[in-house]
Amino acid sequence: MAKKLVELSGMTNVFFCSTGLEANEAALKLARKFGHDKGITRPEIVVYEKAFHGRSIATLSATGNPKIQMGFEPLIEGFVRVPINNIQSLKDATANNPNVVAVFMEAIQGEGGINPMHIGYLREVRQLCDENDWLMMIDEVQCGMGRTGKWFAHQWAGITPDVMPLAKGLGSGVPVGAVVAGPKAAHIFQPGNHGTTFGGNPLAMRAGVETIHIMEEEGLLDNAARVGQHLSDAFADALATELACGTVKEIRGLGLMIGIELAKPCAALTQQAAGDFTHHQGTKWAQVQGHRGRQGQIPARLC
């Protein structure tokens, strides 16, 4: 399993855990240890508005949603928050701050409303991290494992992160999480720095290996790209009037990770759509969710 993930990612080492939350926790610990190893006593990590990384205290603190943070204060310090796809804002927020050690992002924000990081922006962040000796950490828990038509969504930009948390689709329903690391981060953890109870167990590893095998055998990455493009085009055609008059603001996403942003709150509409789907076989391949009040998310299955 580790060998396969290294092959697919172009990275070097893998740590296995059981969930995406655990994988993201490990990434945050890697970043802090990276800073301490450089003599930075209060390391800071750049995170993003509308981000979602989990519901533990550390991952909740990295998350950019005050609604789900409410009631769990005080949150953990050590995060610098910036808007997505604005390299100047990132540069301004980190200027003259020697404590910054990493940039932590989702290649496509899921819970935050299907907000893709632009290809150019991903490349600019990669360059900025290299110039400043920061870790580039990309959370692929939701957008990875073929959802967008590539194994990992950041691969559309032709870059490689230093740290990549994975989970969800990795085990086809069997709890599997992983943190994949490149040369810059692979040897930060030393014996005793981190651990896991169930990570790397035989069932999880078999599920992960078989998942990847089936995806390769059945060409599910190409299928995700092809069907995703078909859905996006069909939505654009079907909603052309609504797009023109502004009741639908935008259709965005990549592959089979698609969001439709409305001009007004969509809770009632998504509930109606969910009710309609329960009467059709379409429920076997699609799920409609309301996010951030105005976005509908359609994370269709790869097959």
The residues annotated as belonging to the active site are: 52, 139, 168
Sheet with 135-139, strands from edge to edge, namely 13-17, 177-181, 163-166, 135-139, 100-106, 44-48, 79-82
Q: How many Cβ atoms from other residues are within 10 Å of residue 278's Cβ?
A: 8
Give the whole-angstrom CA distance, residue 249 versus residue 236. 11
In contact, 168 and 141? CB cutoff 8 Å? yes
- State the burial class of residue 48 (Cβ atoms within 10 Å of its Cβ: 0-12, 13-18, 19+): buried
Asked if omega into 116 is within 30° of 0 (cis), the reply is no
Altogether, the residues listed in the chain come to a count of: 303
Helices (H), the chain: 2-9, 20-37, 57-62, 66-69, 87-94, 119-132, 202-217, 220-238, 240-245, 267-277
Q: Give the alpha-carbon dihedral of 43, 129, 12, 198, to 10 degrees.
A: 40
Give the whole-angstrom CA distance, residue 193 versus residue 26. 10
Does residue 258 sit in helix, strand or coil?
strand
